[in-house]
């Protein structure tokens, strides 16, 4: 798909999904977050992970706060992203809800100054607006997570958290987009995907 057509297709899909998400109630978002938390916590790869890279949800994203807290409470070393001015992500440890401080773009970030690499994670949980069964993931368009996923090894589980109905037959993707290996949805639980090779 040519660059302009790809951009337009992604923009249209983002608009559609953001509109659907805006129609969800706080209770629906909270329920989805609880079901996603339980699905991820039951995953053997999550139970064995010494270090998990995750994110702290904002706005209409499925809530990850309970998941992040639960991973941390059971002894997983959890690292969360810090958005740099150049659009790349640094990673710092989560040390409980009180360790989070306001940052730009309405985000909350760890107050810790220690920096880690996402390459050290045994499990990577990423935000997404949609994904397809080949692992193509639609993000918000800044490319932060595609750049981060470049650093993740080929055997590390990468999971996109979605609402029901956001695992699609096809998500527009280009050469800079990095696929995920699983998605979690509130009703369907975890789905293992088959990223295209090459």
Q: In 3D, which of 124, 12, 138, 127 has the Cα closest to residue 64?
A: 127
Do the Cβ atoms of 73 and 39 come closer than 8 Å?
Answer: no
Per-residue pLDDT of the chain (198 residues; tens, 9 = 90+): 567 899 899 999 999 999 999 999 989 999 999 999 999 999 999 999 999 999 999 889 999 999 999 999 999 999 999 888 787 899 999 999 888 888 777 778 888 776 889 999 999 999 999 999 999 999 987 788 999 999 999 999 999 999 999 999 999 998 889 999 999 999 999 999 987 655
Q: Judging by DSSP bridges, how do beta strands 130-132 and 167-168 pair with one another?
A: parallel
Superfamily designation of domain 3-192: NagB/RpiA/CoA transferase-like (3.40.50.10420)
| Whole-structure pTM value | 0.92
The residues spanned by each domain of the chain are 3-192
Residue partners of 106: CB distance under 8 A and separation at least 6? 58, 59
Helices (H), 53-114: 65-73
């Amino acid at each position: 798909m040519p660059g302009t057509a790809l951009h337009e297709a992604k923009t249209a899909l983002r608009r559609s999904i953001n509109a659907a998400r805006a129609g969800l109630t706080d209770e629906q978002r909270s329920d989805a977050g609880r079901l996603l938390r339980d699905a991820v916590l039951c995953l053997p790869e999550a139970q064995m992970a010494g270090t998990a890279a995750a994110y702290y949800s904002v706005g209409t994203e499925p809530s990850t706060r309970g998941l992040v807290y639960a991973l941390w409470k059971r002894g997983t070393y959890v690292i969360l992203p810090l958005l740099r001015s150049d659009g790349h992500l640094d990673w710092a440890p989560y040390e409980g809800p009180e360790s989070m401080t306001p940052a730009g773009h309405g985000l909350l970030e760890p107050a810790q100054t220690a920096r880690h690499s996402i390459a050290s994670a045994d499990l990577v949980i990423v935000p997404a607006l949609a994904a397809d069964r080949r692992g193509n993931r639609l993000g918000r368009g800044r490319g932060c997570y595609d750049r981060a996923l470049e650093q993740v090894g080929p055997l590390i589980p990468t999971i996109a958290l979605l609402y029901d109905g956001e695992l699609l037959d096809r998500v527009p993707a280009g050469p800079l987009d990095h696929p995920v290996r699983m998605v979690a949805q509130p009703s369907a639980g975890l789905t293992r995907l088959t990223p295209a090779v090459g």
